[in-house]
């Protein structure tokens, strides 16, 4: 997928509307607790400043559902941007209102401003053409650098491209390069580790990867649906009883495609959903009634850690256990450490596995950590992402 980037178009001195993903976590005092997404946008913003552009940034934050809500204001983001760029970022008090219009009008070359939360307008998620046109009127060129929202056809991701020439920023370029190359032309053995709660959340990804990988390792709560499909009891573990036939079909499909389909051989179980619950490790065939599986066991950690040493390309999406609770984070942390030592192209497909790797302080050991949870998943499924499709193609 070859899309034009900011380097393929003349931007010098132009007004540039940039869609970023500043949907960052904040505490109750509106302090940003993780600024990774803002940091990830820096290369594109700095490049535009160097090109002497008038830079108009826009983003959503949270789910205000079309209402102006103070706790979802982007003001803390403007403050963080100012500190990172070491220059004042002008904050608009609205999105397409008088304040935004005046500030865009008075913006000078090399200056940066940020519009208020796009989702204060319901028209944003509705992809309303009128709203998109108003937004587009602020720029001469549109740059999309928000991979995390590229799977949504919103006014600020797809709508504006009907009114402005649209190219990608460096972040989207990077995402397309690493995720795209891994899927299209991987160095083998190509392996994937998939975790998460439900098989139903990952059906498309599993089906897509079975066509491409040499080894597929399953972890997380969705493993228990596969155990049940094999005829074993899973106690109180999360299990999708309506997906047992599907689980059997997926295992059969992997067999047909000669894909090594690995499931946990043991599991760390707990008495109840509680950080301090009583726990123990049992074989996957011996989960007792009244107990719930929360993590992969020690033998599985060993097995998976040995397997990944052979990889030349590896994608990991989803933690392999309930990593929010310390005693059930052992599997996820162990896999992160095992992967950190592997000499391969290693891609983290966003979401909780990215958070786990960051938390373990191992981020720099990975080739690429995707910024888009849902977008990464849909990309891995082979779906077309509206926010990417709308960008100009390279000749």
The full set of domains in the chain, from first to last, is 6-171 (3.40.50.1260), 178-381 (3.40.50.1260)
Catalytic residues: 37, 198, 351, 374
Q: What is the pLDDT of residue 2?
A: 87
Angle CA(102)–CA(104)–CA(110) in degrees, nearest 5?
Answer: 140
CA atoms within 13 A on the CB side of 130: 3
257: pLDDT strictly greater than 90: yes
Phi-psi region of 45 (alpha: psi -120 to 50; beta: other; left: phi over 0): alpha
Closest CA relative to residue 380, chosen from 189, 211, 134: 211
Q: What is the mean pLDDT of residues 36-49?
A: 95
374: pLDDT strictly greater than 90: no
Q: What is the pLDDT of residue 198?
A: 85
Query: Sorting pLDDT into bands at 50, 70 and 90, what band is 64?
Result: very high
Q: What is the pLDDT of residue 192?
A: 95
Assess whether the previous peptide bond of 189 is cis (omega < 30° from 0).
yes
- Three-class DSSP category at 214: coil
What span, in angstroms and rounded, lies between the C-alpha atoms of 360 and 133? Answer: 44
Looking at every residue in the chain, the average pLDDT score rounds to 94
Which pTM was predicted? 0.86
Poorest-confidence range of 4-18, 97-111, 339-353? 339-353
Q: What is the mean pLDDT of residues 200-206?
A: 88
């Amino acid at each position: 997928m070859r899309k034009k980037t900011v380097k393929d178009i003349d931007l010098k001195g132009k007004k540039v509307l940039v869609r970023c993903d500043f949907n960052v976590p904040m505490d109750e005092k509106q302090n940003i607790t993780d600024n990774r997404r803002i940091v990830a946008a820096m290369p594109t913003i700095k490049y535009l400043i160097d090109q002497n552009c008038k830079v108009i940034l826009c983003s959503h934050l949270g789910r205000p559902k079309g209402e102006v809500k103070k706790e979802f204001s982007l003001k803390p983001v403007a403050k963080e941007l100012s500190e990172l760029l070491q220059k004042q970022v002008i904050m608009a008090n609205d999105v397409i209102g008088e304040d935004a219009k005046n500030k865009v009008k008075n913006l000078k070359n090399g200056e940066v401003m940020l519009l208020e939360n796009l989702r204060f307008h319901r028209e944003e998620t509705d992809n309303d053409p009128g709203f998109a046109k108003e937004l587009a009127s602020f720029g001469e060129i549109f740059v999309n650098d928000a991979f995390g929202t590229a799977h949504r056809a919103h006014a600020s991701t797809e709508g504006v491209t009907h009114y402005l020439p649209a190219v990608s920023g460096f972040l989207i370029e990077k995402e397309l390069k690493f995720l795209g190359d891994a899927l299209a032309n991987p160095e083998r053995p190509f392996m994937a580790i998939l975790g998460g709660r439900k098989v139903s959340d990952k059906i498309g990804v599993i089906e897509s990867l079975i066509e491409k990988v040499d080894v597929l390792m399953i972890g997380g709560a969705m493993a228990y649906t596969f155990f049940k499909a094999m005829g074993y009891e899973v106690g109180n573990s999360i299990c999708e009883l309506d997906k047992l036939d599907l689980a059997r079909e997926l295992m059969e499909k992997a067999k047909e495609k000669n894909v090594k389909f690995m499931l946990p051989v043991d599991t760390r179980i707990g008495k109840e959903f509680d950080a301090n619950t009583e726990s123990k490790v049992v074989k996957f065939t011996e989960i007792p009634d009244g107990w719930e599986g929360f993590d992969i066991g020690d033998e599985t950690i060993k097995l998976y850690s040995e397997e990944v040493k052979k990889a030349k390309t590896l994608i990991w999406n989803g933690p392999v256990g309930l990593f929010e609770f310390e005693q059930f984070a052992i599997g996820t942390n162990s896999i992160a450490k095992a992967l950190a030592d592997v000499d391969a192209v290693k891609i983290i497909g966003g979401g909780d596995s990215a958070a786990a790797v960051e938390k373990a302080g191992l981020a720099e050991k990975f080739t690429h950590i995707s910024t888009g949870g849902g977008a990464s998943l849909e990309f891995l499924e082979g779906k077309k992402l509206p926010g990417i499709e709308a960008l100009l193609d390279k000749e």
